[in-house]
Amino acid sequence: MTRTALIVEDTPMAITPLEVALAGIANLETMVVADGRKAIDYLEGDFGANVCAVLTDLNMPILDGFELIAHLRSLKKFSSLPVLVLSGCTENGAAKRSLDLGANAFFAKPYSPVEVRRKLEELLRA
């Protein structure tokens, strides 16, 4: 069965390296949305049940990554969904705040796509 990693990112240049790295995970496809509101709509829609993880930026329009994490963790059906933060926002305790809200990992941009893939594989095995 194919699973989906939902990438929430509004910068097109940041998407391709991540998609390439994740392509090496068996039975995993990616879906990309540009903001947290679209991520919630996707997760709560017809295809949301296939989502096995969310990889999100923090700085996005409409609904940012912090709000997305808080929303996901407030709902029982998404409370254990792995969430990885990939962000250029490293000041003001962004990593700590992300983890305190319930993210499973924080990667500062520029991050290693290979390291992100390894962490995702670890979370999917758990």
Could you tell me how far CA 27 lies from the centroid of its own chain?
Answer: 17
What per-residue confidence (pLDDT) applies to 78? Answer: 93
Average per-residue pLDDT for the chain: 93
Residue 5 above 90 pLDDT? yes
What per-residue confidence (pLDDT) applies to 123? Answer: 96
Q: Within 10 Å of residue 106's Cβ, how many Cβ atoms?
A: 21
pLDDT band at 95 (very low <50, low <70, confident <90, very high): very high
CATH topology of domain 3-125: Rossmann fold (3.40.50)
Radius of gyration of the chain (CA): 13
What per-residue confidence (pLDDT) applies to 12? Answer: 87
| CA–CA separation, 64 and 51 (whole Å) | 19
Sheet with strand 3-8: strands edge to edge = 28-33, 3-8, 51-56, 83-87, 105-108
Domain ranges of the chain: 3-125
Mean pLDDT throughout 97-102?
96
Mean pLDDT throughout 11-25?
90
Between 43 and 110, whose confidence is greater?
43
pLDDT band at 91 (very low <50, low <70, confident <90, very high): confident
> Which runs of consecutive H residues, i.e. helices, occur in the chain?
12-22, 36-43, 65-74, 94-101, 113-125
pLDDT band at 61 (very low <50, low <70, confident <90, very high): confident
What per-residue confidence (pLDDT) applies to 92? Answer: 75
